[in-house]
A and B are shown apart, each in its own frame.
Chain A
Amino acid sequence: MAVQTPPSAVRRRVLGGGRWIPYAFVTPFVLVFLTFMLAPIVIALVNGLYSSQSSGLGFGGAETVFVGLRNYTRAFADADFLVSFGRVALYGLVQVPVMMVIAAVMALLFDSALVRARRFFQFAVFLPYAVPGVIAALLWGFFYQPSVSPLVQGLRAIDIDTDLLAPGTVLWSVANVSIWSNAGINMIILFSALQSLPRDTFEAARLDGAGELRIALNLKLPMIAPAVLLTTLSTVIGTLQLFNEPQVLQSITPNISSDWTPNMAIYAVSTLGRDPHLGSAMAVILGLVTLVVSLVLVRFTNSSSRGGAR
């Protein structure tokens, strides 16, 4: 950013006859990229246009026939699949702001020099990120099951009966798992951004009589807007892809169906439903929705930050 600007103008060409050398460096990556990123996208697009139909008695083997957009119309006619999008949207509307507020407040507090034993507390907030998401879901699963849960037992001791896996509650129980898992990494990213800000700006504001709260909200937060956008964007994308936590918690409650989120529906259709063609069409739909949402979000934040610039 500052002193050692990369001398991109002085960057070098290969000397001598080794024009092929850069290609030797990038070829391995390009190969795996083509095979495991581009090819799956093409496969999903093509596969979604076909369907396998068992001929007659079912023993004659299935034959694959071109069906045009029929898989897509089937997907859009599937009420449960559409509801799963609404469910992750509702989930995201709550989970994303709550987690970002926790991460931002923590990061600002850690940055404010107000917190004692900072390293220990940062360790505590970050520790869950080192727990694999699936294991985190298992772990919280024990907190949600009345038979073992210290939480439910503790609340019962003070005469509060809760069912954390009830139909209306389970969505927020799932949200809690991913907030617990991911708040730490977002806090660290925002904290790193805060630490790289120039301190003398705040010193000047302090001399002008600005309080710490005003400095945090009016100076620090706008200055780390790019990092906030980055973390919010990846959280939103993660929300649309929701799979691990509900898939794991599904085994302890009947209130999570096998097509509870779009990704769970894709998984269920491809495995249990034995219809990978429909699964591919659904994956394309989910991919497009994710793409549109992230582009809208980027667009929206760009225009609002330009309009609201001080």
Chain B
Amino acid sequence: MTAALQDSPPAGTAPPVRSRRVSRTVVSGGERVSRGWMVAATAVVAVASLYFLAPVLWLVIASTKSASDLFSTPGFALADWHLWENVRDLSTYDGGIFWRWALNSVVYSVVGSVLTTLLCAATGYALAVYRFRGRALLIGIVLGSLLVPGTVLAQPTYVLLVNLGLNNTYWGLLLPGLSYPFGVLLAWIFAQNAIPTELLEAARLDGSGEFRTFAGIGLRLMSSGLVTILLFAFLGSWNNYLLPLLVLTDAELMPLTVGLTGWNQASITIPSLQILTVVGSLVSVVPIAIVFLALQRFWRAGLSAGSVRG
């Protein structure tokens, strides 16, 4: 363990004191481990956690400060409670444009991820369930396109959207996100593992049509895997930055990422925007963090299924 401990530089501070081997052992997770190592390991992890949590903690504390306290009080100390005033200012600035951005982000992410997941599910299901001409080609395309880095496509996609007259529209940002080969790969793996042949045969014998079988049996059996695809597609479009930056010029259409970074840039000349950027960041992080952490069980299972076979 010593090397592992020393290799862990996250916060660069206080490598735990090498504890003497204590004869007493404790049982943890069904395995017998020495108490000294347990304290040491937990200390390393705790120090690392500090590094990962500190910026988020700062964001929460900073959001409760007034614009002037943000600069004049120590970062991690609470000052006068100003959170609600900040949220009010956030909501009224520039005619409430912040909530417009939030709504846009929700629309892009929810509509986009639901449609993406459906496309991936249908394609993955067909790859797993049917043998048809062109199937091998399709699989080759899906695997091959995993090597194409998404952001490299942003610039030519922008050129394409300009030619189609879709730049600076909702569709211009929604449609390109629907192409998600990694999601197809995951859906294919899930469908292979989760849908027993016998069940489909039985459904056919009962006279169920192919599409009804897919909607009634396929989607339901694949559901825990589909949650993973849904979450990653959602996160992908919630975090999207380069494409909207290129495609959208109208502030009314922008998602949170573009809007908030715009404020951050403008705060050099308009200092009052700094605290609004801080509060806006907090407001944009909280819902997604809650959703993501609440659904851990699903995407964790999905991830391990994906990485074992993928």
Return A176 CB to nearest CB of chain B, in Å: 10
Chosen A-B contacts, 21 in total, with CB atoms closer than 8 Å, are A6-B128, A11-B131, A12-B201, A22-B135, A29-B120, A33-B145, A40-B157, A105-B7, A109-B4, A113-B31, A120-B49, A125-B48, A131-B285, A135-B284, A139-B55, A139-B281, A143-B55, A154-B75, A216-B4, A251-B261, A251-B268
Interface positions, chain B 252-272, Cβ under 8 Å from A, are 256-257, 260-261, 264-265, 268
User: How many angstroms from the CA of A40 to the CA of B153 in the assembled complex?
Assistant: 6
Top-4 shortest CB links A-B: A150-B75, A25-B126, A114-B41, A124-B49
The A-contacting residues of B in range 38-90, CB under 8 angstroms, are 38, 40-42, 44-46, 48-49, 51-53, 55-56, 58-59, 62, 70-71, 74-76
Closest B residue to A294 using CB positions: B147
Interface size in chain A (residues, C-beta < 8 A): 117
Contact A29 B130 (CB under 8 A): no
**Alpha-carbon distance A116/B77, docked complex (angstroms):** 29
CB distance from B307 to the nearest CB of A (A): 5
Which of B's residues lie within 8 Å of A, judged by CB?
1-4, 7-10, 28-31, 33, 37-38, 40-42, 44-46, 48-49, 51-53, 55-56, 58-59, 62, 70-71, 74-76, 119-120, 122-123, 125-132, 134-135, 138, 141, 145, 147-153, 155-160, 175-176, 178-179, 181, 184, 192-193, 197, 200-201, 204, 210-211, 214, 238-239, 241-242, 245-246, 256-257, 260-261, 264-265, 268, 274, 277-278, 281, 284-285, 288-289, 292-293, 300, 303-304, 307-310
The answer, yes or no, to whether A241 is at the interface (CB within 8 Å) is yes
Question: Of B141, B147, B288, which one neighbours A130 at CB under 8 angstroms?
Answer: B288
The answer to whether B184 and A29 touch across the interface, beta carbons within 8 angstroms, is yes
Report chain A residues within 8 Å CB of B148: 37, 41, 287
Nearest CB of A to B149, in Å? 5
A56 at the interface (CB under 8 A from B): no
Q: CB distance B304 to A14 under 8 Å?
A: no
Contact of B74 among A120, A150, A180, A294 (CB under 8 A): A150
